[in-house]
A and B are shown apart, each in its own frame.
Chain A
Amino acid sequence: GDSVTQKEGLVTLTEGLPVMLNCTYQTIYSNAFLFWYVHYLNESPRLLLKSSTDNKRTEHQGFHATLHKSSSSFHLQKSSAQLSDSALYYCALSDGATGGNNKLTFGQGTVLSVIP
C-alpha cells in the first residue's frame, strides 16, 4: 500500500534560518497528490501546499515544495523561519482516484520549533 515517510520527528531552528522538512513516499499511482498540512496547537490542521505535477514548484505563504517523482520526494522549504512557523507539519498522499474514497495516507509528522 501507500506510505509516507517523514524522518524528522522534531526540527529545531533559530529564527531566520532556512527550513527544510523532508517527505518521501511510496505509491503505485502515477496521479498521486502530495500535500503538506500544518497543525497549530488548538486549531484544525489546514492545507499548506499540494501538488500532483512532477518537477513543478508550488508556493504558499512563504513555503514551497517541488514534487519529484523520480525520487518520490516532496520536501517542504522556506527561506527564513519565523517564530510563528512553529507547528506540527504533516506530509500526506492521496492516490488521485476520483469518486469513492479519497484516502489520505499521512507521514508521522514533523514538529518544527523555531527559537529566537
Chain B
Amino acid sequence: AQTIHQWPVAEIKAVGSPLSLGCTIKGKSSPNLYWYWQATGGTLQQLFYSITVGQVESVVQLNLSASRPKDDQFILSTEKLLLSHSGFYLCAWSGVNQDTQYFGPGTRLLVL
C-alpha cells in the first residue's frame, strides 16, 4: 500500500526566515506529485506539480519554489517567508494518467 508523509506537522516561523516543507511517498513508483495551499479562510489551490524527477512546474506565483530531488520526494521552500505564506500545505500524489489524487496529512504554517 502507498503511504504519504509530510513534515513538519506544524511550524511557527518569523517573517523573512527560510522555510522547507517536505513530502515523501512510499510504495508508488514514478508518481505525479502536487503541492496545494490553503490560506486561512481561503480555498485549496494548486501551487506546483511534478511528473518526473528534477522537473517541477509552477501553477501559482507565491514567492515559493519546489523541487523533486528523488522520485519519491517533493520539497517546498522559500528563502524569505512572508506573512501571506501562512496557511495549510498539502502534498498529493497520483498515478500517471490517473484522475484520483491522494493527500498527505498536511503542514500548518504560521508566519509571524
B residues 36-55 near A (Cβ < 8 Å) are 36, 43-46, 49, 51
Task: Indicate if the CB atoms of A96 and B49 lie closer than 8 Å.
Answer: no
Q: Does B94 contact A (CB under 8 A)?
A: yes
Separation of A92 and B38 alpha carbons in the complex (Å)? 14
Q: What is the distance, in angstroms, from B35's C-beta to the closest C-beta of chain A?
A: 11
Task: Indicate if the CB atoms of B59 and A33 lie closer than 8 Å.
Answer: no
Stretch at the interface among B11-19, B74-82, B98-106: B98-106
Q: What is the distance, in angstroms, from B25's C-beta to the closest C-beta of chain A?
A: 12
Task: Indicate if the CB atoms of B97 and A90 lie closer than 8 Å.
Answer: no
Task: Indicate if the CB atoms of A102 and B105 lie closer than 8 Å.
Answer: no
Binding site for B on A (CB under 8 A): 33, 35, 37, 42-47, 50, 52, 90, 92, 94, 96, 98-104, 106-109
Task: Indicate if the CB atoms of A101 and B105 lie closer than 8 Å.
Answer: no
Contact with A along B80-112 (1 / 0, CB 8 A): 000000000010101011111111111000000
Apart from the given pairs A44-B4, A109-B43, 11 other A-B contacts in the complex at a CB distance below 8 Å: A44-B102, A44-B104, A45-B103, A50-B100, A52-B99, A99-B97, A104-B46, A104-B92, A106-B36, A106-B43, A108-B43
Q: List 28 A-B contacts (CB under 8 A).
A: A33-B99, A35-B100, A42-B105, A43-B105, A47-B102, A50-B99, A52-B99, A92-B44, A99-B51, A99-B96, A99-B97, A102-B34, A102-B98, A102-B99, A102-B101, A103-B49, A103-B59, A104-B34, A104-B36, A104-B44, A104-B46, A104-B101, A106-B43, A106-B44, A106-B45, A108-B43, A109-B43, A109-B44
Q: Which chain B residues border A43 with CB–CB below 8 Å?
A: 105
Separation of A44 and B104 alpha carbons in the complex (Å)? 5
Q: Which chain B residues border A102 with CB–CB below 8 Å?
A: 32, 34, 49, 94, 98-99, 101
Binding site for A on B (CB under 8 A): 4, 32, 34, 36, 43-46, 49, 51, 57, 59, 90, 92, 94, 96-106
Separation of A19 and B92 alpha carbons in the complex (Å)? 28
Q: What is the distance, in angstroms, from B74's C-beta to the closest C-beta of chain A?
A: 14
Task: Indicate if the CB atoms of B43 and A107 lie closer than 8 Å.
Answer: yes
Separation of A109 and B34 alpha carbons in the complex (Å)? 19
